């Protein structure tokens, strides 16, 4: 288990390293001189000086090395549109994205799991068919469109929830009391529901298929034959094995959540990393965009690593195989 874990960790770091390299190459094949970043006309002498100061006149491999060293120190560069270091800008927005993505992920997984189990127990009967068609529809909705519709119905028409922003700007400029925590959660409902619902529809379809895959296995039939109560068969024998696909789904959720964050945060004026990235596009602040792309990739890689570790915990066969490094025939 330990050796396997170390190997997975090294592989993850290698992937991040490759992503960093890819991003570096992308920046350097793109057109445009470094000075074009500054809006006002600059004296060529000042421009030369700046180019030297930032090291853009050095050979590419030297720049690459400096880039790596800077990133290793957590230095993402300076944002010219925000007039502050990129690291500070990120530190201010990441907590908001974590809250949004965390709430959405919770709804996604819990609702999806429950629906999947419920449907698999009533396969091809009326509740399953209705839910099956509903999840197919919700799963196909563009998140940004659903966000607008929910905004229109629940914020504008019914006025149940606020139209955007992370908290009430007058009563709760900072979250420092229980009331303000409740206020934050109240503001979180619509954005998190938008992302969570679409995700949950996908998870439900995935989980239903996984439960049905397992339902025909010998050990499920054995459990039924020896007279185990239905509840126990479903939860202990079927679900335990179907959880492996659930964990796979958990690993796949991160790219979806990050993509959704860009759109949802923009629509609901949620001051997270996705909105930061989008605003950075509008101001052509490519140091900032690059930094968010790197952070997002890192999150995806470590999300996969986490899913792998959970998989190892949940599936004893994997532990044995990985530890002893021999192929165990499972089929």
Partner 1 sequence: MKLGNWLALFVALVLAAEIARLLRQRAAQHGRWRRLFRHRTTSWGIGILAFLVIIALAAPLVAPFPPGDQLGIVDLKNHPPSWTFILGTDVLSRDVWSRIAWGARVSLGIGALGALVAVSLGTLVGASAGYYRRWVDALLMRGVDVGLALPRIFILLMMVALWDRLPFAALVLAIGLTSWFGTSRLVRAEVLSLRERDFVVAARALGAETGRVIFRHVLPNAATPIIVSAALGVGNVLLLEASLSFLGIGVAPPDPSWGSIIADGASTIYTAPWTILFPGLAISLVVMSLNAVADGLRQALDPREEMA
Question: Binding residues for partner 1, per CB under 8 A?
Answer: 11, 14-16, 18-19, 22-23, 26-27, 30-32, 133, 136-137, 139-145, 148-149, 151-152, 156, 216, 255, 258-259, 262-263, 266-267, 277-278, 280-281, 284-286, 289-290, 292-293, 296-297, 300-301, 304
CB of 57 to partner 1, least distance (A): 20
CB of 176 to partner 1, least distance (A): 33
Instruction: Select 223 or 299, whichever has its Cβ closest to partner 1.
Output: 299
Instruction: Select 172 or 273, whichever has its Cβ closest to partner 1.
Output: 273
Helix orientation angle between 86-121 and 286-314, rounded to the nearest 10 degrees: 40
The phi and psi torsions of 2 (rounded to 5 degrees) equal -65, -45
CB 117 within 8 A of CB 211: yes
Close Cβ partners of 55 (under 8 Å, ≥ 6 residues apart): 62, 63, 66
CB of 289 to partner 1, least distance (A): 5
- C-alpha 76/C-alpha 287 separation (Å) is 7
CB of 205 to partner 1, least distance (A): 9
Close Cβ partners of 89 (under 8 Å, ≥ 6 residues apart): 79, 82, 276, 288
Instruction: Select 26 or 70, whichever has its Cβ closest to partner 1.
Output: 26
CB of 258 to partner 1, least distance (A): 5
Ordered DSSP codes for 120-185: HHTTTSHHHHHHHHHHHHHHTS-HHHHHHHHIIIIIIIS--S-SSSSS-TTT-SS--SHHHHHHHH
CB of 286 to partner 1, least distance (A): 5
């Amino acid at each position: 288990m330990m050796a396997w874990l170390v190997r997975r960790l090294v592989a993850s770091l290698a992937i991040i390293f490759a992503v960093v390299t890819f991003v570096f190459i992308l920046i350097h094949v793109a057109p445009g001189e470094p000075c074009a970043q500054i809006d006002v006309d600059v004296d060529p002498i000042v421009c030369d000086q700046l180019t030297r100061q930032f090291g853009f006149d050095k050979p590419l491999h030297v720049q690459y090395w400096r880039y790596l060293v800077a990133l290793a120190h957590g230095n993402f560069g300076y944002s010219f549109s925000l007039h502050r270091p990129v690291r500070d800008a990120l530190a201010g927005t990441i907590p908001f994205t974590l809250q949004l993505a965390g709430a959405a992920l919770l709804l996604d997984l819990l609702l999806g799991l429950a629906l999947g189990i419920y449907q698999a127990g009533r396969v091809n009967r009326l509740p399953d068919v209705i839910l099956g068609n509903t999840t197919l529809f919700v799963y196909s909705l563009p998140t940004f469109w659903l966000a607008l519709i929910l905004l229109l119905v629940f914020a504008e028409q019914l006025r149940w929830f606020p139209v955007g922003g992370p908290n009430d700007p007058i009563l709760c400029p900072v979250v420092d009391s229980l009331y303000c925590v409740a206020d934050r959660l109240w503001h979180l409902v619509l954005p998190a529901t938008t992302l969570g619902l679409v995700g949950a529809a996908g998870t439900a379809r995935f989980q239903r298929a996984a439960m049905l895959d397992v339902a025909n296995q010998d050990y499920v039939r054995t459990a039924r034959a020896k007279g185990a109560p239905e509840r126990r068969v479903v939860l202990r024998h079927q679900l335990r094995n179907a959880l492996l696909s659930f964990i796979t789904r958990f690993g796949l959720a991160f790219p979806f959540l990050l993509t959704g964050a860009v759109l949802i945060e923009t629509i609901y004026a949620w001051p997270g990393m996705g909105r930061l990235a989008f605003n950075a596009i509008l101001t052509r602040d490519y140091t900032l965009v690059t930094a968010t792309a790197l952070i997002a990739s890192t999150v995806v890689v470590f999300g996969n690593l986490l899913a792998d570790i959970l998989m190892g915990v949940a599936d004893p066969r994997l532990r044995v195989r990985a530890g002893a490094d021999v192929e165990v025939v499972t089929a």
